[in-house]
């Protein structure tokens, strides 16, 4: 396998071009640079205005890719790689297959967004789950959405304030129902998993105080998506966007909570001495093969096969023999304050 280049990014967030956003893109991009983010994938609601305004491309060491969130009442969809927005009104009950198909016809890629979002009644946040699982033709789905995860911790006003001050300590990781659905879908076709931030930098009143939820400088330390490319980025706006979107479409990606520790250096391959495969790849099992996992810091490594725990060990690397086909993915948990907390979730290798 050729050398792979690991780029850290954030997918799904909103700027002042969204009806419910308020932060200028210049400030967001600056915050990304301060957090060592390599690329941003913007998803303002029902608009590509940031693309029209000339923001797409490199800004110093940060590449901005402008996408869109299609946002009817339910069945939100993140889309990238198209030049004209697809507008669906929030109160419109539209068959999501229609806009999934339209994105494909226009040469774009799309991801089911925050599929199990529940909202929070306490702060009047409506629920926005994905309801129609009969659809086909989408590229992937959100597996770990920061805002869905964090909002699930808001059970009381005192607890909510603590959750606001120390959000990384209340995150539980991807929902079991989301992981279970993803594992099942991957049995029949490749469904690429992504991490979502869904940050708006919204102002809320708590105990009479106006709080920003969350400033991007803080939000960018939470759920990120890493993309692995075979070629390094070359600071060319169009070429680098195509490189990253190709890696994303192929599933060469993993998600990570990087508040406590950066995940770069994570590696997951399956090899048999003559061939190697990594996340998003298919691997033909015709002889004895091994799974090899390396992580940048000691943690609990869980190998998942077809949705079930296959192996678990605490350490910095593992190597296991495999003798049967299946959909293999990795989960890693990092021990912080005597508790294992969610850290890294990989896309699968498809062993045929």
Q: Is 89 helix (H, G, I), strand (E, B) or coil?
A: coil
The CATH superfamily assigned to 267-351 is Immunoglobulins (2.60.40.10)
For residues 321 and 344, is the Cβ–Cβ distance under 8 A?
no
Separation between Cα atoms, residue 161 and residue 264, nearest integer Å: 31
For the chain, the residue count is 352
pLDDT of residue 91: 75
Separation between Cα atoms, residue 282 and residue 156, nearest integer Å: 46
Q: Using alpha carbons, list the distances in angstroms from residue 55 to 5, 52, 63, 81.
A: 25, 8, 10, 15
pTM of the full structure: 0.96
59 CB contacts (<8 Å, ≥6 apart)? 29, 33
Q: Domain 5-257 adopts which CATH fold?
A: TIM Barrel (3.20.20)
Comma-separated ranges of CATH 3.20.20.140 domains in the chain: 5-257
Q: Is 164 helix (H, G, I), strand (E, B) or coil?
A: helix
Separation between Cα atoms, residue 164 and residue 212, nearest integer Å: 9
pLDDT of residue 205: 67
pLDDT of residue 263: 98
When computed from its CA atoms, the radius of gyration of the chain, rounded to whole angstroms, is: 20
Beta carbons within 10 angstroms of residue 275's beta carbon: 14
pLDDT of residue 122: 67
Q: What is the pLDDT along the chain (352 residues), one digit of tens a residue?
A: 678 999 999 999 999 999 889 999 999 999 999 999 999 999 999 999 999 999 999 999 999 999 999 999 999 999 999 999 999 887 777 899 999 999 999 999 999 999 999 988 766 778 999 999 999 999 999 999 999 999 998 887 788 888 889 999 999 999 999 999 999 999 999 999 999 999 999 877 666 777 788 999 999 999 999 999 999 999 999 999 999 999 999 999 999 999 999 999 999 999 998 899 999 999 999 888 999 999 999 999 999 999 999 999 999 999 999 999 999 999 999 999 999 999 999 999 999 9
pLDDT of residue 319: 95
Pairing relationship of beta strands 62-70 and 39-45 according to DSSP bridges: parallel
pLDDT of residue 137: 97
Separation between Cα atoms, residue 309 and residue 320, nearest integer Å: 13
Comma-separated ranges of CATH 2.60.40.10 domains in the chain: 267-351
């Amino acid at each position: 396998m050729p050398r792979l280049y690991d780029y850290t990014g954030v997918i799904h967030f909103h700027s002042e071009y969204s009806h419910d956003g308020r932060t200028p893109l210049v400030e967001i991009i600056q915050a990304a640079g301060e957090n060592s983010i390599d690329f941003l994938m913007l998803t303002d609601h029902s608009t590509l205005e940031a693309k029209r305004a000339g923001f797409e491309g490199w800004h110093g060491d940060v590449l901005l890719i402008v996408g869109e969130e299609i946002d009817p009442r339910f069945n939100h969809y993140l889309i990238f790689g198209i030049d004209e927005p697809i507008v669906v009104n929030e109160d419109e009950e539209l068959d999501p297959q229609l806009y999934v198909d339209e994105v494909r016809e226009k040469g774009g890629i799309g991801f089911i967004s925050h599929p199990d979002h529940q909202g929070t009644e306490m702060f009047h946040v409506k629920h926005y789950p994905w309801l129609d699982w009969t659809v086909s033709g989408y590229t992937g789905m959100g597996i770990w959405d920061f805002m869905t995860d964090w909002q699930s911790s808001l059970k009381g006003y005192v607890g909510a304030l603590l959750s606001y001050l120390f959000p990384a300590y209340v995150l539980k990781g991807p929902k079991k129902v989301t992981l279970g659905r993803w594992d099942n879908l991957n049995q029949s076709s490749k469904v690429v998993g992504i991490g979502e931030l869904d940050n708006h930098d919204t102002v809320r009143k708590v105990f009479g105080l106006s709080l920003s939820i969350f400033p991007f400088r803080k939000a960018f330390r939470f759920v990120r998506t890493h993309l692995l490319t075979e070629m390094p980025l070359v600071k060319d706006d169009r070429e680098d966007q195509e490189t990253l979107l190709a890696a994303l479409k192929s599933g060469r990606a993993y998600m990570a909570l990087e508040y406590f520790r950066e995940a770069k250096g994570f590696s997951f391959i399956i090899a048999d001495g003559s061939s190697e495969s990594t996340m998003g790849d298919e691997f033909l099992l015709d002889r004895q093969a091994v799974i090899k996992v390396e992580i940048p810091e000691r943690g609990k490594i869980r190998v998942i096969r077809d949705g079930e725990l296959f192996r678990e060990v605490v350490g910095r690397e593992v190597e296991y023999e495999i003798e049967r086909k299946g959909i293999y993915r990795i989960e890693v948990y990092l021990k912080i304050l005597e508790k294992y907390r969610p850290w890294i979730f990989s896309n699968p290798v498809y062993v045929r």
